[in-house]
Structure 1
Amino acid sequence: MEIPADKLLSGFLLTRQAFDTQQGICLSYWLKTEQGPANVLVTQQSTVFFVEATLQQQVTQYLNDHAISYEKITPLALKTFNQQSVCAIYFRSMRDYYRAKEILASYRIKCYEDDFRPEDRFLMERFVTAHCQFNVSEQAIMAENTSSHAAPRIYAQQCRPIPKTQIDSGFLLDMVSLDIECSMQGELYSIGLYSHALNGKSLTQVLMIGDNSNTKSKLPLIERQQIAPCIRWLEDEKALLVALIDWFKQHDPDVVIGWNVVQFDFNVLQKRCDLYQLLFSIGRDGKAPRWRKNNNSGQQYIDIAGRVVLDGIDLLKTATYNFPSFSLDYVATELLARGKKVEDVDNRVQEITDNFHHDKLALAAYNLEDCRLVTQIFEKTQLLEFAMLRAQLTGLTLDRIGGSVAAFTNLYLPKLHRAGYVAPNLGDGLKGLVSPGGYVMDSIPGLYQNVLVLDFKSLYPSIIRSFNIDPMGMIEGLKAPEDAIEGFDGAYFSRDKHFLPQIIKDLWQERDKAKQENNAALSQAIKIIMNSFYGVLGSTGCRFFDPRLSGSITKRGHQLLKQTQVWIEAKGYRVIYGDTDSIFVHVGNDKSAEQSRALGASLAEFINSQWQQKLEAEFHIKSELEIEFETHFSQFFMPTIRGLDVGTKKRYAGLVRENGDTQIIFKGLESVRTDWTELAKTFQRSLYLKVFNQEPVKEYVMQVVQDTYDGKLDDLLVYRKRIRKRLSEYVKNVPPHIKAARAADAINQQQGKPLKFQGKGWIEYYLTTAGPQAKGYVTAPLDYQLYIDKQIATVADAILPFINESFTAIVDQQQSLF
């Protein structure tokens, strides 16, 4: 690797670590640069936490009594939120740092900001997120020439963020998809590796135990000819593992992707290496991964020097995708319109084992197809781009799951320090108050024509911007409430000393720019970050939590919706529902679609003008609130709570006609619920469409009932539910799907087959005259009457009374005909 002439090494941060040396703490950062990967070392560093200055003498005495080495204790021009001055305690080793924390905690000495790792603080205090520049020292040239590593160790002292104008928006990391196939006991069969462009080249390879002496296969000839050259044959499992380790050294990917890839694939690979006493040396430093485990959830994490592992399931959830099932087969079918290359997904382990022994080409094809599916899901949803942008915006590592609190802290803390404060600790916020959730109005049930939905754009971020809601801003506001903006529950916010409103404004502008450039990944990343800030301030897991902060957001939201309702109804229109940031307005049955949409735009303009005037008059602030006309429902249905005349909340359906297209939107009803059968969903969609179009419904209802009795709809009667814990743990309350799972595994046990349902997972089952029975294990007739009573009747009775019909009357009429 050639060191840049200006000695500024620029790149994208992949992994980070800190470790003790005799000269102090060494910070190790792996970057991907234009010249290739590089390991940057920042040596002779210290780590720090803070204590109140009045305790300095005691702290010094305690540390000396326990022979804990520290570099220095220095009074600082910083203070706590309680206005207490602090001093900083610096340590040259992490071992002493952690021991000091424990000792001081035993004396009930509060240490501030004692939970930051030095490799994270070094970046955060310099406003470095992902794209960064290091000042390379003179030692770097020597390091490059003497290092035996493929990627050089480069020494640096300072680091800074790369200016936005210099960031290559098209920069991507080299990514490979990895998937293993193995027996139920974890014995490896093969490892698939796939990439569209790894180091500029496409790659398709399967490492397979066995040889090519028997290439008979059920695959078509052309597919056999395509698969065979991709296979590298290995003698045994140990040789397979060695080949994988060599593959990593040769191809050197930045990112490894997969499906449950950490908890399953890498976990199995590590265990098999341990079995053979092999060093799983796949890191760019030639070392094995470091494993961490969350003791509460059991979740495992893997750190590979210079490489990032991204799990498709975790990343989709982080990007707010939601599927009834996150199995690869289900997600691929939904996003790519094709699933796994296997005849029976539910019994794929048996098929995999059979193919390993009798048709290795078919196994290789299956293995590679799983790799391809994951790659194409990443490409379809721009998951790698999303992860990189999220890292750049927040400073979170690429593989960080969740992390809203950490993202907020990374952005906020360095600004807080420069304003003269240290951050509070968990639990320092005001006790005894509870901030409410979003405001949900009582609905007015009924069938309507011309319902408009007006939606406050990013309501909570807009409230934060308008009213200057900010942790430090509240501390400063309480010092001079007469000059501050009043919040709720005794909160006041400074008009000029705050950071969060500007952070949100900057993100908002970046999102608007991303939308203009059609950058969906960036727009989504920014939206998630912005919308998380309220949740962070309302979370007891955040050091800045204070119910006065979150309450000043949600209670202001309540006030906004209630006042907006007053203004709309004063104009003669009826508000039939409202939820958090949306308000539903019935504007009358006499309007055309064009008139309704024009009215929606007019109402939005009127409400925005009203809020601008009101906030200026009452608070002397500029309104950042913006309500938008979002949807015109030509037909709309708000149901009642079952068995009552009271309207429901968060449940409705409506018909939208726009640009020649017709779409029914369901919210909270059976059609979008994963715990209802396809029979209920299909029936509801068709029935509601007929009602909205004012078509006769009796004949359709009778036909569905009769088809159900006749067994014509059996494929729609499957329930699908998640088993969330081991079957043995269900004791007092045993729901139907657990009964089905236990009965199915009892049959498996009798027949000497593997037990399928003992752990967590999904089960599909039917309701039969003998109770719930799993799909594939049905021995009794389906209970059609139960399906009709619990599924069809329930759906029908929600809407039929609003057109003066009754499911019971329709069915009784049908029965009288026979």
Structure 2
Amino acid sequence: MKTDFIPIDYDYFDWHGRNYAKITGRNSSGKRICVIDTCPVYLWAILKDKLSKDKINKLIKKIEKIELDTKGRKTRVEKVEIHDKNFLGKPVKALKVFATNYKDLHDVADKLGLPEIEKRRGYDLGYITHYIIEKKITPLHWYEIEGEVLNNSEEFGGIDAVLDVDLCIKLDKVKEINDKKFTPKILAYDIETDEIQIGKGEILMISLVSDGFKKVITWKTAHKKQDYVEYVKDEAELLEKFTEYVKKVSPDFLVGYFSDGFDLPYLKARAEKHNVKLSLGLDGSQPRFSRGMSITGKIKGIVHIDLLKFIRTAYAQYMTSETLSLNEVAKEFLGDTKKDFKLEHSSKISGTDWEKYYEYNLHDSVLTLNLFEKFWPDLSEFVKTTNEPVFEISRAGLSKYTESYILHNLEKYNEIPEKRPGYEEISKRKHSGGVEGAFVLEPKPGLYENIAIFDFTSMHTSIIISHNISRSTLLEKPSKNAVSIKTDKGTFYFKKEKGFFPLMLREIFELRKKFKKQYQKNPNPITKARSNAFKVLSASAHGYIGFFGGRYYSIEASASILAFVRKFNKETIKKVEDSGHKVIYADTDSVALLMNNKSESEIKKLLTKLNSELPGVMELELEDFYKRGLWVTTRAGTTGAKKKYALIDKKGKTKIRGFETVRRDWCKLARDMQNKVIRQILKDGNEKQALKYVKEIIKELKERKISKEDLVIRTQLKKPLSEYKATTPHVIAARKMIEKKIPIGQGNLIEYYVAETRDKKKLVRDKVKLLDEKGEYNKKYYLERQILPAVENIFQVFNINVQEIIEGKKQMTLGDF
């Protein structure tokens, strides 16, 4: 049979001792298809230099006799080929050792500890990655496939009878075809419980939302039943009904928010308690959980997505939200929020409150679905760029993105993959000490007029490309015909002959430019996502080189890249100042300079001159021209604060960096006040109106005219409450919430205010109250611990002492009049 096909989920199984890939996807008619396929499995044995043909032939014959019996599985070396390859950029002769089962390659490698063999590699990629590299059937690309339809077949143990798919095809032929539009079938879910600790309390309700489908399943009844609510008799039936609906909707993606850490393991735990089989997999299997840095839940044939993990990697660094809670993320990306409902123990909920709870639960799934649809273009482009399955990439960190791209592109350079470092090697790397960071020029605090800012385009990446820096190009000893750089770790030398990593990075760099232009020419979610995928890959290169767990980690290369960053930053500062401009600030890859009555075209000419003197692909670009900029003092008030400034352009748009406007332990009043003060000073060009505003706030606070809601402090629980050793204010607040049977857990925002107390208690934690607790806010705390630190270093620029204003002392500086 012949059909088109898009791979979505990858898994594998063993049959008669061999590995088979099981790929689930759709055709353009929407039919669900499972493809069964296999590929040769092998590892590489890199030979020592200058081995004679005779020795190599004898070695091959010896290797071909290797047989293993591991865990009841018989594996043998099936054939051996000799190849000319590269390893870390150096030409090598290597044996390609084919074996029966990928799971046994590590054991085969152990048998290859022979005198003639230098290194053994390629046995630790994982079967799915190996399969994708070998067969080039990559996720989310369209293919025309041809093969035998398995229908009540005994082959592969009758797998087609078990799988809940429209077609099960044993693959024969495949070819890539032009991309078609693919709209995945998504089902979002969310659970509500009385307890946060996994499995400790009952699940009260589960919401499910898909295109044209909304459902809340519950065994807790209300006075009035909404259309979307379905009642069941108890928690066990709730779990059965959830499984039934997942099978009925048959989604490509089952999507939750923090569902790896909470929803799915909670469902599994409660199912086990009631002896209910949570048969969510297309083969009737239950979710499998694996523990690494964090727990992950996998469902066979359906991709389980924990949206929080993808957002944390791909978006967190660009976000302005206080936390990555569903409420904050939805507010920022969708302009929507969770429904307003006060969570309490179910024993305290009655009547119409249950109807509000249903709505609250349902809306969480609505938000999750809408967020997935918002982020799907980005996620799909990351998958297409790295060639790793959606399940892995949705949970991966930036270094995983980079390493995946490397592994799937090594073939272009005839490279054998390096091995993953073991525990001892990672520990050794961690204890080798850090490297000297980038150069930051300490600013002179002040309010400046007419500023230009130059930025190095992808500075670290362009340095790697231009100076050929990588582990594979690092020379063991000094060479005249090499690039050299002095670092805090010593002087290092890199060969000039281009290495595979800088070449690969050059390709990423050029594709980033290409897709950025495509997006500018035709802005839409797909072109934006493609441009962003390569932007992230490009920006992650240096971080990957310094990542302890990376296959291509190199502390020498990392130190060298940062040494070049400092070198070019300092050289640019000197050249700008030699041209007659004062540099007021420089940070890693940017330089801020005063225009000195020069026109914009003259500044652009200076930029052109600077670029003409840069090597390779290194380039400075004009970030923007700014009407005004504010650089402040440190809290001590003696020096300029690094990485802390605010700018306003000619259109009135502000750029604020390093200020605590999103600091979680600040109340809304402090954050809003700081933000308004900064913007007012930038707009006016002086501090007068801003100071007047601060005095009004201080007066209102002293007279208790400020709303308690504006004084609420929100702090996130970053770990389970039981793991906190220090008794901080938010820990006290969290304990009070538990006493009131309010469900809380890791990741929750804890809200409280600091109140007046009858006796004079010194510690803030002794003054903590929840919002519904009666009391008056503590004036002294909010004045000295919230208002003062929010604006103190801003007004120090104008020689104004905010502490004296708070204390009611007369100001004797010019700025006070």
Q: TM-score, normalised by structure 1?
A: 0.82
Check conservation: 1:12, 1:31, Cα contact below 8 A: yes
Note the C-alpha offset of 1:46.
4.1
Three-state SS of the structure 2 residue aligned to 1:376 is helix
Structure 1 residue aligned with 2:213: 203
Check conservation: 1:670, 1:680, Cα contact below 8 A: no
2:307 to 305, 312, 316: 312
1:187 to 202, 210, 214: 202
Check conservation: 1:405, 1:542, Cα contact below 8 A: yes
Note the C-alpha offset of 1:95.
4.6
Note the C-alpha offset of 1:70.
1.9
Greater CA deviation, 309-318 or 62-71? 62-71
Cα 1:331–1:406, aligned 2, differ >3 Å: closer, same or farther? closer
Check conservation: 1:143, 1:155, Cα contact below 8 A: no
Structure 2 residue aligned with 1:581: 589
Three-state SS of the structure 1 residue aligned to 2:12 is strand
Query: Hey, what's the Cα distance between the residues in 1 that align with 2:20 and 2:135?
Result: 17
Q: Map 1:294-443 onto structure 2 (within 5 A).
A: 294=292, 297=293, 299-321=294-316, 322=319, 323-344=321-342, 348-350=343-345, 354=349, 361-379=355-373, 382-399=374-391, 400=393, 401-417=395-411, 419-426=413-420, 435-443=435-443
Structure 2 residue aligned with 1:500: 505
1:72 to 72, 78, 86: 78
Query: Hey, what's the Cα distance between the residues in 1 that align with 2:204 and 2:691?
Result: 58
Check conservation: 2:148, 2:172, Cα contact below 8 A: no
Note the C-alpha offset of 1:42.
0.9
Check conservation: 2:194, 2:743, Cα contact below 8 A: no
Query: Hey, what's the Cα distance between the residues in 2 that align with 1:648 and 1:377?
Result: 37
2:783 to 788, 801, 804: 788
Q: Map 1:145-544 onto structure 2 (within 5 A).
A: 147-148=160-161, 149-157=164-172, 162=176, 166-168=178-180, 170-184=181-195, 185-196=200-211, 202-209=212-219, 216-217=223-224, 227-228=226-227, 230-294=228-292, 297=293, 299-321=294-316, 322=319, 323-344=321-342, 348-350=343-345, 354=349, 361-379=355-373, 382-399=374-391, 400=393, 401-417=395-411, 419-426=413-420, 435-472=435-472, 474=473, 489-495=492-498, 498-518=503-523, 519-544=527-552
Three-state SS of the structure 1 residue aligned to 2:571 is helix
Query: Hey, what's the Cα distance between the residues in 1 that align with 2:182 and 2:124?
Result: 33
Deviations 1:103-134 (A, max 9, x none): 77999996323221122112124555323466
Query: Hey, what's the Cα distance between the residues in 2 that align with 1:777 and 1:216?
Result: 27
Check conservation: 2:219, 2:233, Cα contact below 8 A: yes
Deviations 1:706-763 (A, max 9, x none): 11111222433222223333445444x4434334445x26xx64xxx32766766432
Note the C-alpha offset of 1:388.
0.9
Note the C-alpha offset of 1:387.
1.0
Task: Give yes or no for the alignment of 1:129 onto 2:124.
Answer: no
Aligned letter for 1:721?
T
Note the C-alpha offset of 1:434.
5.4
Note the C-alpha offset of 1:579.
1.3
Query: Hey, what's the Cα distance between the residues in 1 that align with 2:359 and 2:114?
Result: 59
Query: Hey, what's the Cα distance between the residues in 2 that align with 1:780 and 1:252?
Result: 53
- Structure 1 unmatched runs, 5+: 197-201, 218-223, 616-622
Cα 1:172–1:559, aligned 2, differ >3 Å: closer, same or farther? farther
Structure 2 residue aligned with 1:638: 631
Task: Give yes or no for the alignment of 1:797 onto 2:789.
Answer: no
Greater CA deviation, 453-462 or 433-442? 433-442
Note the C-alpha offset of 1:340.
2.2
1:609 to 612, 616, 621: 612
Check conservation: 2:140, 2:380, Cα contact below 8 A: no
Cα 1:216–1:285, aligned 2, differ >3 Å: closer, same or farther? same
Query: Hey, what's the Cα distance between the residues in 2 that align with 1:575 and 1:547?
Result: 32
Three-state SS of the structure 2 residue aligned to 1:270 is helix
Q: TM-score, normalised by structure 2?
A: 0.83
Cα 1:656–1:279, aligned 2, differ >3 Å: closer, same or farther? same
Aligned letter for 1:124?
I
Query: Hey, what's the Cα distance between the residues in 2 that align with 1:311 and 1:182?
Result: 18
Task: Give yes or no for the alignment of 1:96 onto 2:104.
Answer: yes
2:647 to 641, 651, 654: 654
Structure 1 residue aligned with 2:730: 737
Check conservation: 1:763, 1:774, Cα contact below 8 A: no
Three-state SS of the structure 2 residue aligned to 1:542 is coil
Three-state SS of the structure 1 residue aligned to 2:550 is coil
Query: Hey, what's the Cα distance between the residues in 1 that align with 2:121 and 2:556?
Result: 22
Query: Hey, what's the Cα distance between the residues in 2 that align with 1:480 and 1:510?
Result: 40
Aligned letter for 1:252?
S
Cα 1:190–1:741, aligned 2, differ >3 Å: closer, same or farther? closer
Note the C-alpha offset of 1:550.
2.6
Structure 2 residue aligned with 1:556: 564
Three-state SS of the structure 2 residue aligned to 1:490 is strand
Cα 1:338–1:137, aligned 2, differ >3 Å: closer, same or farther? closer
Cα 1:664–1:351, aligned 2, differ >3 Å: closer, same or farther? farther
Query: Hey, what's the Cα distance between the residues in 1 that align with 2:560 and 2:136?
Result: 29
Query: Hey, what's the Cα distance between the residues in 2 that align with 1:96 and 1:396?
Result: 22
Identity of aligned residues (%): 21
Note the C-alpha offset of 1:791.
2.8
Taking only aligned residues, the RMSD between alpha carbons, in angstroms, comes to 3.7
Note the C-alpha offset of 1:173.
1.0
Cα 1:736–1:237, aligned 2, differ >3 Å: closer, same or farther? closer
Greater CA deviation, 682-691 or 572-581? 682-691
Aligned letter for 1:277?
N
Q: Count matched residues.
A: 753
Cα 1:487–1:90, aligned 2, differ >3 Å: closer, same or farther? farther
Deviations 1:23-54 (A, max 9, x none): 621111112221322111114x4433233435
Cα 1:245–1:799, aligned 2, differ >3 Å: closer, same or farther? closer
Note the C-alpha offset of 1:394.
0.7
Deviations 1:199-218 (A, max 9, x none): xxx222233337xxx8634x
Note the C-alpha offset of 1:496.
7.7
Query: Hey, what's the Cα distance between the residues in 1 that align with 2:99 and 2:439?
Result: 49
Cα 1:245–1:816, aligned 2, differ >3 Å: closer, same or farther? closer
